């Protein structure tokens, strides 16, 4: 489990082409990111599909805490008295992400981030 951060480039889409031979070039990013962002790799994709190392703890107040000991990421799931569910995702010093899921009397489901 890992908090996914967007890459924030100073010059979006800018690349450097270095000639290798003939019509062959090496391409490298030259966008000068102000924030590198989360690398997309096998570990991230496995985590998205649930194939990661997560420790789950059922707490005495009914909350569920899921922690990844490798990344420090965690999700705290709290079941509110009104039937809604609040999930707080945090990792290190990054701002926490909060998602609230509400179930309507008409069978609708709404999810609000923030």
Q: Which of 14, 34, 52 is the last residue of a domain?
A: 52
Q: Which residues of the chain have pLDDT under 70?
A: 1
Instruction: Check residue 114 and give its pLDDT.
Output: 85
Q: What is the pLDDT of residue 23?
A: 94
**Dihedral, CA of residue 30, residue 36, residue 42 and residue 48, to nearest 10:** -130
What's the confidence (pLDDT) of residue 46? Answer: 81
> What is the Cα–Cα distance from 56 to 92, expressed in whole angstroms?
18
The whole-model pTM stands at 0.65
Identify whether residues 44 and 68 lie together within a single domain.
no
Count of domains observed in the chain: 2
Q: Does one domain contain both 59 and 15? A: no
């Amino acid at each position: 489990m890992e908090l996914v951060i967007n890459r924030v480039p100073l010059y979006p889409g800018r690349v450097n082409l270095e000639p290798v031979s003939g019509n062959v070039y090496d391409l490298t990013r030259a966008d000068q990111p102000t924030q590198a962002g989360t690398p997309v790799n096998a570990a991230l994709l496995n985590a998205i599909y649930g194939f990661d190392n997560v420790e789950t703890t059922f707490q005495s107040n009914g909350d569920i805490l899921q922690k990844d000991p490798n990344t420090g990421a965690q999700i705290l799931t709290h079941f509110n008295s009104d039937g809604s569910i609040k999930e707080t995702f945090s990792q290190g010093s990054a701002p926490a992400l909060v998602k609230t899921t509400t179930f309507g009397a008409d069978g609708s489901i709404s999810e609000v981030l923030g």
